[in-house]
Structures are given as C-alpha cells and as structure tokens.
Amino acid sequence: MTGPGAGDALFDNDDLAAASHRPEQYADEQRSDPAGTVDPAAVDPALTDPAAVAEAVAPVRSIAAEVGAVLLRTEDLTVRFGGLTALDHVGFEIRRGEILGLIGPNGAGKTTCFNAITGVYRPSAGAVYFDGAVLGKTKRNQITRLGIARTFQNIRLFGEMTALENVVVGTDARHKTSVPGAIFRTARHRREERDAVERGMALLEFVGIAPRAMEKARNLSYGDQRRLEIARALATEPKLLCLDEPAAGFNPSEKSALMDLIRKIRDDGFTVLLIEHDMRLVMGVTDRIVVLEFGRKIADDLPAAIRADPAVIAAYLGVPDDQVAGAEEGRP
C-alpha cells in the first residue's frame, strides 16, 4: 500500500517513456524531466461545458462501440518468479464498457496480472488476448498504442513539468508526426501540438484539476497528482484503462469523489480494470469482480454475489478452506 509522500516513485517515468512514439534515443531526454514544453500564452481557458469536455476527452467514439463484447481475455495466464507462481492459470474476460474489479488479499497476484496485461512481464504460460489480437511478445509501447493505459500504485509523474505538460506528453502515443516533422515543426506537427494542448486542458477539466494546469506536478496535492495520473493515462486514448489502487491514501470524501470520476470515465466510453483494496469503493463502483488468492482465481461474479461468496470471505478473513466447505454443506 502506498500513501502521500511515498518515496521517490513520483518521478520514475520508465513507462511514460515507453508510452511515447519517440525512438529510444529520446527516452533519456524525457526521463530528465523536460520542463516548459507548453507555452502558457498558447493555452485557451479550459472548456467548461461538460458535454464538450466529454467529447474532447474521448474523441474516438468507436472506443464505446460494441458495449458488452469481450475486449480483453486472459487464458491460463501464468507468471512464475523462480519457484514462486505469482499467477496460476488465471482466465477472465473484460467486456467493453464495464468496470471490472480485480481484488484479493496482499500478494494474491493482482499487480502481477496488471503487469502481464500491460507487457511489463511476459507470461510464463497462457495468453492475453486484447481487441482481437494476442499480446504475446508485444512491447509496452505497442500495447499502449493498441489501447491499454494504466496508472501505478506509486504515482509516476514528471515532477518539474506542469500538470498540462504531463498530460500533453501522454498524447504523444497517438501523434503521427515523424521525428523530422517534429524537428522542422511542420504544419502537421504544429496542428498536433495545438490539438494536444486543447485536449490536455479538456482532460484536466474532466478529472477536476483544470485550475492547476500550470502548476508543477510536484506541487500538486497528493489527490490531484492521482487525478493527473488518470488524465495522463486517458490522454493516450485507451480502450482499456487499468487503475492500480487509485484510492490508496485517500480520505472518505476523496474516495467518494474518485468513485464519481471512475463512473464518469466509464460513461464516457472507456472500459476500466480496477485493482483496489477499499471494499466499499470496489463494491460501489464495479460491474463485476474477479477475486484472486495465492495467484489463483477463486471467484468471478457480480459484486453482491462476491460479497456473499464463502471462499472470498475465507480468503479475506483467513478462515481455513475446509471450514468454509463444512459451513457450505451444513457441517460444523
């Protein structure tokens, strides 16, 4: 579990560099926290009409198409670390337009599952299918471009860049301009930059931090940094947004605002995979829940059924399985 001021991870940007379309030699430049890439004078005030904001945030409306069709499927997904099987033949589906919760006690394999889906780890066995393609050996930056974005347990932002710049960098994954085009500032490149700033402002408005657009990320409150991370992930126009413990360190009112934001994200056409320890939040916001324990899937059902599932209760309360089986069969 992480919380405010959680170490230096705030400024760890390996995955952001991976999300960029730029070739490897530019990755170091990004890691060195380039500041001042957006001219404040060029920034229009944020959109305020919610419908216009929603439209700008999800410009590719096809991401909302085919609600209910399978978007991602894991099949016998297995990840081993030496002798430890962190994920053991796990199979589940995420359907378009749903909020799927991935829960389980500490060490159950949730983050490993995220990492296998987003290309951080290669599966030891099994497969991940996304939007009709098997991810297999797909690299992280390609996975981002295929349409999977994520946030992290430990916030990762460019601390010296403004909130807006952090989001604009996220839009890089969708830019079509070549590196020479960027160097010579072609008309297409300038138009893409302008669009990125406009959409960046809409995204900040969408997550509720537009007034902080010109503040350095490191100066934002912890809650606003978490919102900024979500805005930056949405900037890549993902079909699937993976949120890893987004409520870590939040107080109850921040948690309830986060629930509203997650619903708003889904309502705008995105599909959401959510790892979260806070049961009230998970039960309140998800459409369906997958439960892991010791790397295995032990349940996959609607929130109400999960809440009453004896195996899930046992996993969380540490009740031995044989007692649960006995209780189910009416034995003492």
Ligand X SMILES: Nc1ncnc2c1ncn2[C@@H]1O[C@H](COP(=O)(O)OP(=O)(O)OP(=O)(O)O)[C@@H](O)[C@H]1O
Residue 30 or 111: which CB sits closer to ligand X? 111
Residue 205 or 276: which CB sits closer to ligand X? 276
Binding range to ligand X, per CB under 6 A, among 41-49, 79-87, 144-152, 179-187: 79-87
What is the token pair recorded at 288? Answer: 């369906």
| Cβ 198 to ligand X shortest distance, Å | 37
Which H or E run contains 112? helix 110-117
DSSP character for 153?
S
Query: Site residues for ligand X, window 193-222 (CB under 6 A)?
Result: none
Residue indicated by tokens 């919760």:
101
**249 forms part of the interface with ligand X (CB under 6 A):** no
| Cβ 145 to ligand X shortest distance, Å | 25
CA angle in degrees (0–180, nearest 5) for 119-127-248: 50
SS3 76: strand
What are the two backbone dihedrals, phi and then psi, of residue 202, each rounded to the nearest 5 degrees? -65, -40
Give the closest residue to 272 by CA, choosing from 17, 90, 52, 96.
96
Binding range to ligand X, per CB under 6 A, among 78-86, 208-216, 263-271, 316-324: 78-86
**84 forms part of the interface with ligand X (CB under 6 A):** yes
Residue 62 or 106: which CB sits closer to ligand X? 106
Give the closest residue to 104 by CA, choosing from 299, 235, 301, 281.
299
The residues that bridge with 99 in the sheet, in sequence order, are: 272
| Cβ 124 to ligand X shortest distance, Å | 12
Q: CA–CA separation, 225 vs 54, rounded Å? A: 21
Binding-site size, ligand X (CB under 6 A): 11
Residue 34 or 107: which CB sits closer to ligand X? 107
- List, in sequence order, every beta strand (DSSP E) within the chain: 70-81, 84-95, 99-103, 125-130, 133-134, 148-150, 240-244, 271-275, 288-293, 296-301
| Cβ 88 to ligand X shortest distance, Å | 10
| Cβ 79 to ligand X shortest distance, Å | 8
Query: Site residues for ligand X, window 90-129 (CB under 6 A)?
Result: 104, 106-112
The letter for the amino acid at 123 is: P
In the sheet with 70-81, reading across from the earlier edge strand, the strands are: 84-95, 70-81, 125-130, 133-134
| Cβ 81 to ligand X shortest distance, Å | 3
CA–CA distances in Å: residue 16 to residues 100, 156, 276: 24, 8, 22
Residue 108 or 272: which CB sits closer to ligand X? 108
SS3 59: coil
| Cβ 268 to ligand X shortest distance, Å | 27
CA angle in degrees (0–180, nearest 5) for 149-38-237: 20
| Cβ 17 to ligand X shortest distance, Å | 20
**3 forms part of the interface with ligand X (CB under 6 A):** no
Q: Which of 10, 86, 116, 262 binds ligand X (CB under 6 A)?
A: 86
Residue 86 or 207: which CB sits closer to ligand X? 86
Contacts to ligand X by CB under 6 A: 81, 84, 86, 104, 106-112
